[in-house]
Amino acid sequence: MNLRLPLIRLVHFAARMTGQERCLDLFNFTLPVTVRGFRYFVPRRGELGRSLVQEAPHGMDELYARMLRNKKGLFLDVGCNEGQTFLLWLKHREPGLRYVAIDPQPRCCDYVGVLSRKNAVKDAVILCAGLAESPGLATLYCMDAEGADSDMASMEPILLAEAEYQSRKLVPTVTGDALVESVASEETVAVIKIDVEGFEHGVLVGFQQTLRRDRPLILCEFMGSGHPDPARRQERRSQIAASSRFLKDNDYAVFHARKDGDLVPLDAVPAHDFCRDHFHTAGYDFLLVPEELSGEFGVSPHSTHRGQPDSVIR
C-alpha cells in the first residue's frame, strides 16, 4: 500500500484545522481534489496552488459550461495566473479541444505547465509574455519587491497608486493575432478569457483579426481604478469607454457576468471606479458575445431592451 498520499491528505487536513496552512508552502507535493464530482490534481509549489486546494472553482462554473457548449475550438487563457481558469476548462472541455495560456509572469507559466501535466493535458501551449496592441516591450508593475506577484501585477499602473507597486520589470509583448497565427493558424478560436488588471483595451485591439475571423466568445474582467488621483480614475474610465466602442464597432454584445451566475445584458461596459463591495458581491466580469450569437444567451441580436451600465455598476 502506498502510504504517501494518505499521509499528505492527513497533514493537509491537520494544517487546515489548526490554521497553519501557510506552513505547507515550505513543501512541494500534489494533492487530489474533488469538487462537485469533478476530480483533479493540484501541485503545491510554495504558495502556488494554495487557493486551488482550499477553494472550489469559482462561481463562473456554469458560465464556462455554457460557453464551451456554444463554441467549439481553441481556448485562450490570457492572464492564466495559477490556473484557476484551466481547471474550469478541464472540467467542461470536449475531447480534442486545446488550451493555450499566456502570462508575463514566468512563475505562473511554469506552475500552469506543471498543473496541466499533473492533469494529463499534454498538448497545452503556455507562453510567457504579455499581450498588447503591438509587439515590443512593456513594463510590468508588481505588488512585491521580488517582482513575483501573481495576483495584481499589471502592465497598466492605473488601478492603484504608484506607491502600491513595489517593483517593475520589462516583459516582451505580442499581439493576440500573432499568438493565434503562431500556435493555432488552422484552428478556430472559440473562447478567450482576459484577466489583465487594467490592460484589457490593448489586448482586445491586438485580437482584431481573430475577432473578425472566428467570432469567439470573450470573458473579460474590466476592473475600475481605485487610484487616489481623480484624473487617473477618469483616465481609466476613458479606457473602458474606448473598449466599449471597439466592441460595438466589431458587433459584440455585452453582458455583466455576475458572480451568482446571472447574465445581465447591457448597452456597454460601464465606465466605473473600483468599489470593493461590488467586487466581492457581483464582480467585474463581462461576457462579450458576437451579436449573431447573443440569442444563445437570452437576448435577441436586434433587441433594444438592454440594461443601462449605470444601473448595474455604481
Domains of the chain: 1-45 (no CATH), 57-311 (3.40.50.150)
Q: What is the largest CA-CA distance in the chain?
A: 64
pLDDT digits (tens, 9 = 90+) for 110-148: 999 999 999 999 899 999 999 999 999 999 988 877 656
Q: How far apart are CA 291 and CA 298, in angstroms?
A: 12
Q: Is 240 helix (H, G, I), strand (E, B) or coil?
A: helix
Q: How far apart are CA 49 and CA 32, in angstroms?
A: 12
At 105 the pLDDT is 92
Q: How far apart are CA 295 and CA 285, in angstroms?
A: 20
Outline where DSSP puts E strands in 85-234: 99-103, 125-128, 130-131, 136-142, 167-174, 189-194, 217-221
Query: 263: exposed, middle or buried (C-beta count within 10 Å: 0-12, 13-18, 19+)?
Result: middle
Q: Which residues pair with 125 in a beta bridge?
A: 100
At 163 the pLDDT is 76
Phi and psi of 167, rounded to 5°? -160, 165
Q: How far apart are CA 241 and CA 247, in angstroms?
A: 10
> How far from each other are the two terminal CA atoms of the chain, in whole angstroms?
58
DSSP 276-307: HHHHHHT-SEEEEEEGGGGGGGT--TT----B
Provide the CA 310 distance to its chain's centre, in angstroms.
24
For the chain, what is the radius of gyration of the CA atoms? 20
Give the number of other Cβ atoms within 10 Å of residue 173's Cβ. 23
**pLDDT beneath 70: ranges in the chain:** 1-27, 54-59, 146-151, 280, 299-314
At 282 the pLDDT is 77
Q: How far apart are CA 90 and CA 68, in angstroms?
A: 11
At 307 the pLDDT is 55
Question: With contact defined as beta carbons under 8 Å apart, do 86 and 80 qualify?
Answer: yes
At 255 the pLDDT is 96
Write the CA distances from 41 to 53, 68, 86, 113, 204, integer angstroms: 9, 22, 12, 13, 32
Q: How far apart are CA 206 and CA 133, in angstroms?
A: 4
pTM over 0.85: yes
Question: With contact defined as beta carbons under 8 Å apart, do 220 and 288 qualify?
Answer: yes
At 22 the pLDDT is 58
The position carrying cell 490593448 is 202
